[in-house]
Amino acid sequence: MAARIRTLAIGAVLAASVAAVYVTRLQFAPIYLMHDESQFALQAEAIASTGRDLIGRRLPLYFTEPEFPAGRDPAIIYATALVLKVLPLSESSVRLATSLVGVLNIVLMFLVARRLLASDLLGVVAALLLAFTPAHFIRSRLVLSPFYSIPFILAWLLWLARFVDTPERRTLVVAAAWLGLGLYTYLGCTVMMPVYLLLTAWVAWRRSARGWGVALLAGFLVPLVPMAAWSVMHPERYGQIVEAYQLYSVADTVRLRLHLYWSFFSPDFLFITGETSLINSTRQAGFFPMAFAILIPVGIYRLARSGGDIGKVILAGFLTAPLASVVSGALEMNRIMFAIPFGALTAAYGAQALIGSARPISRAGAAILLVSCALQFSGFYVDYMGRYRVASAEWFGGDIRSAIAEAIERGGDDGRIHLSRSIPFIRRYWRFYALAANRRDLLGRETFFEWPELDSPAVPAGAVLVCPAAEPACASLASDPSWTLVRSVVEPGGSPTFSVFEKH
């Protein structure tokens, strides 16, 4: 009982400490809501307010949209909808569920590592290594579905570790069930969860567990009954997935696939600069902390030599992490989220090997590496909340939030708001910020236009128009005496992105 209370206390302290960093300033950084975030948020708002998705279906399993007919993943939408049942729609509220998942991941990592490494201290070390991982922190603040696969992977590892200690069929059923449930988090899990199921089967076979095959299949397949029923009712979904991800070209170039696989293990990508996209990286830190460049190789050696069956599962999990990217044909952050828990666990094993070494220099090296993770994360966090926030503004679509707010303030009474279709994803942004401003009455009263079809003389006096500042036709309105530039939206870096005009 005392051990359980201690574990709960440590987990609670970890959760509170990490939440102070992970769950704060969500509306401040990232600087704006990117278009995919806004669409997930709109689906969640529709579910929270009406119980139906954006096209009117009641509590659907997958959220079909014109841009993605195969349907968006349900876990993130329903989790965000739960938050919106309590909090009003805003950029911070829609990001809250994902950041809470980030905190949950860190607590689960503590529980997994504590059991595997038989130490509360090493469990805390592993949890902090995950918390200090730049890719984990960045994606915990974005409303994007791949991140939701991580808690299911960690829950599977926790129950698999319990099964290794005490081979019981019910434990195996639960471990497999977490993998089945994980398929509802992200499409890439259809590649990775079966891989983890095979690893689970190997462990069960090694343990000669009685009836392990039935237990494994039951645990994995029962959660998939709703998915199977949906597939029967929507047989076109398979073809839509193949078309969306161009899976028919998987066998076209073996060399390309091998290149993608090895690209993931590039030291520059993993430990120095990360992905080229400023949505997924600050470019000042790698996917993992720089200290992982030593801790992961040491951990791999430790896992291979004396990690036991569960150690080989962790090693296999890390080495197979790029498979979803290889199958899809693109090395994208969405498809390599699976590396995060396995990389942090491998680094924790590396730390254990160095700390437990008989050589003082190894123990000192472990201390230096662990402290460097904390120091690097501190610098990364300052950069994330400062320089990166400004530098990434264009990647997040610019300050359309301020442009729409200005339009609502000036033209919201009669709904005479004109929005240029040349603004990417303007329909999503308009709906989100109108709802966030509690102006549902404006939806359907706006006008979306393209310049050749805009009849300027016919636009009534008092109407407000929003357009991209860099567009020549937009800039020409400044010299039209019938229009007045009432707001030039300027990014923190000093460049104008949107113009708001009012008709005389």
Alpha-carbon distance of 74 to 44, in angstroms, equals 9
pLDDT at residue 390 is higher than 70: yes
The bridge status of strand 63-65 relative to strand 68-72 is antiparallel
Q: Which helix (H) or strand (E) holds 17?
A: helix 2-22
Which pLDDT value is given to residue 245?
59
Which pLDDT value is given to residue 452?
82
Which pLDDT value is given to residue 309?
95
What is the rounded end-to-end Cα distance, in angstroms, of the chain? 75
Who contacts 3 (Cβ-Cβ below 8 Å, separation ≥6)? none
The bridge status of strand 417-420 relative to strand 464-468 is parallel
Q: Report residue 389 as tokens.
A: 């926030």
pLDDT, tens only, 307-364: 999 999 999 999 999 998 888 777 788 889 999 999 999 999 999 999 999 999 999 9
For residue 500, the cross-strand partners are: 466, 487
Given pLDDT bands bounded at 50, 70 and 90, which one contains residue 253?
low
3-state SS record for 294-359? HHHHHHHHHHHHHCHHHHHHHHHHHHCCCHHHHHHCCCCHHHHCCHHHHHHHHHHHHHHHHHCCCC
Cβ atoms of 97 and 83 closer than 8 Å: yes
* Mean pLDDT for the stretch of residues 118-128: 97
Q: Report residue 201 as tokens.
A: 């089967």
Q: Report residue 419 as tokens.
A: 């929005």
Alpha-carbon distance of 488 to 244, in angstroms, equals 37
Cβ atoms of 11 and 124 closer than 8 Å: no
Who contacts 300 (Cβ-Cβ below 8 Å, separation ≥6)? 315, 318, 346, 350
Which pLDDT value is given to residue 246?
58
Question: Strand, coil or helix: what is 125?
Answer: helix
Q: Which helix (H) or strand (E) holds 467?
A: strand 464-468
Which pLDDT value is given to residue 252?
54
Given pLDDT bands bounded at 50, 70 and 90, which one contains residue 265?
very high
Percent of the chain with pLDDT over 90: 81
The bridge status of strand 417-420 relative to strand 447-449 is parallel
- The domains of the chain are located at 2-391, 400-503
Question: Strand, coil or helix: what is 33?
Answer: coil
> pTM for the whole thing?
0.95
pLDDT, tens only, 408-453: 999 877 778 999 999 999 999 999 999 999 999 999 999 999 988 8
Alpha-carbon distance of 187 to 183, in angstroms, equals 7
CA–CA distances in Å: residue 341 to residues 105, 111, 157, 346, 425: 9, 13, 10, 9, 33
Who contacts 293 (Cβ-Cβ below 8 Å, separation ≥6)? 267, 270, 271
Cβ atoms of 493 and 482 closer than 8 Å: no
Which pLDDT value is given to residue 268?
94
Q: Which strands sit side by side in the sheet containing 464-468, from one edge to the other?
A: 447-449, 417-420, 464-468, 496-503, 483-490
pLDDT, tens only, 52-100: 999 999 999 999 887 777 788 999 999 999 999 999 999 999 999 999 9
pLDDT at residue 244 is higher than 80: no
Given pLDDT bands bounded at 50, 70 and 90, which one contains residue 468?
very high
pLDDT, tens only, 129-167: 999 999 999 999 999 999 999 999 999 999 999 999 999
pLDDT at residue 219 is higher than 90: yes
Alpha-carbon distance of 313 to 315, in angstroms, equals 5
User: Residue 79: what are its φ and ψ, rounded to 5°?
Assistant: -65, -45
Q: Report residue 256 as tokens.
A: 């390309």
Which pLDDT value is given to residue 448?
95
Which pLDDT value is given to residue 78?
98
Q: How many residues are given for the chain?
A: 504
* Mean pLDDT for the stretch of residues 203-228: 92
